[in-house]
Amino acid sequence: AVDLSVDESSLTGETTPCSKVTAPQPAATNGDLASRSNIAFMGTLVRCGKAKGIVIGTGENSEFGEVFKMMQAEEDGWQQGQRKVELLAVAAIPEGLPIVVTVTLALGVMRMVKKRAIVKKLPIVETLGCCNVICSDKTGTLTKNEMTVTHIFTSDGLRAEVTGVGYNPFGEVIVDGDVVHGFYNPSVSRIVEAGCVCNDAVIRNNTLMGKPTEGALIALAMKMGLDGLQQDYIRKAEYPFSSEQKWMAVKCVHRTQQDRPEICFMKGAYEQVIKYCTTYHSKGQTLALTQQQRDLYQQEKAQMGSAGLR
């Protein structure tokens, strides 16, 4: 496998792509689908990379087949409480008992709806009545598993808001109330250029082929009319992203100016990228990166993280 990343949200509900490797896994992890990093499952999507594999299960022997069998085996009709009631000697008319139970459960469903909880099957109400604690996890069921750039903070302190959602060019980049397009604002365009060139994703007909994070950066470039920058450069070397190093870098030369020095573009986790930075760009100048600037970037990064941004 080479930089293989698989979207398993259709199977596990987790929206973050899983990195796959060829290393054997301990037998103790076989019960957890998310920990099976050396197995790709039927019905999941390859986001990036390539690999060769051996088929070890098809049809009902696959994980989706197991899910289907569990759904088929689910009991329908009378729940456990109703079966217990059948054993009771009831003085009232027995024929009316199922109706009373059904109405009672339906009233429970209505009460849960008022508290913004949706119940698909009446028997679940009885089961919930026995629960003391409910632990839930975001599964992506109500989301589209898409990422969108919404905020930009430049090295010289400018803040930009980005409108529009999804992998399409519909949206604007706004700085101080003005719409930014092309290279009108160098501080913003340099960030977009790095995110676009140091990128392996492709968007065609509003459909992403690649990682969601990289797709969001390409969509940002499309909104500024800079998505063609990928074709302006020739890659001389590439350092692919990995979960260990948490950054990606490419070494390029401009296609029409190959006599100029090579340029390196890098993107990744803030903690990793900042280690390699010694200067920063500010209003057309390249200045030495001071500790004061590092503290400013760290503070901004923490504020964005607390707002749910990454």
Task: Count other Cβ atoms within 10 Å, centred on residue 188.
Answer: 23
Cα–Cα distance measured from residue 140 to residue 84, given in angstroms and rounded to the nearest whole number: 37
Q: Is 264 exposed, middle or buried (0-12, 13-18, 19+ CB in 10 A)?
A: middle
| pLDDT per residue rounded down to tens, the chain (310 residues) | 777 888 888 888 777 788 888 888 776 556 677 778 888 888 888 877 778 888 988 888 888 888 888 777 655 545 555 555 555 545 455 666 677 777 778 888 888 888 887 887 777 777 777 888 877 766 555 667 788 999 999 999 999 999 999 899 999 999 999 999 989 899 999 999 999 999 989 999 888 888 888 999 999 999 999 988 888 999 999 888 877 788 999 999 998 888 888 999 999 999 999 999 999 998 888 999 999 999 999 999 999 999 888 7
Task: Count other Cβ atoms within 10 Å, centred on residue 218.
Answer: 24
Cα–Cα distance measured from residue 47 to residue 242, given in angstroms and rounded to the nearest whole number: 14
pTM exceeds 0.75, yes or no: no
Q: What is the pLDDT of residue 264?
A: 94
Q: What is the pLDDT of residue 309?
A: 86
Task: Count other Cβ atoms within 10 Å, centred on residue 99.
Answer: 9
CB 173 within 8 A of CB 162: yes
Q: What is the pLDDT of residue 2?
A: 74
CB 29 within 8 A of CB 35: yes
Instruction: Using the structure block, give the residue that is written with the tokens 């450069």.
Output: 233
Cα–Cα distance measured from residue 266 to residue 251, given in angstroms and rounded to the nearest whole number: 9
49: nearest Cα among 23, 25, 19: 19
Q: Is 307 exposed, middle or buried (0-12, 13-18, 19+ CB in 10 A)?
A: exposed
Q: What is the pLDDT of residue 134?
A: 78
Q: Which domains does the chain have, with CATH numbers?
A: 2-73 (2.70.150.10), 80-128 (no CATH), 151-306 (3.40.1110.10)
Q: What is the pLDDT of residue 96?
A: 65
Cα–Cα distance measured from residue 129 to residue 111, given in angstroms and rounded to the nearest whole number: 13
Q: What is the pLDDT of residue 30?
A: 60
Provide the residue type at 120 as one letter.
Answer: K
Question: Catalytic residue numbers?
Answer: 137
- The sign of the CA dihedral 114, 117, 121, 127 is negative
Quote the tokens at residue 188: 């913003």
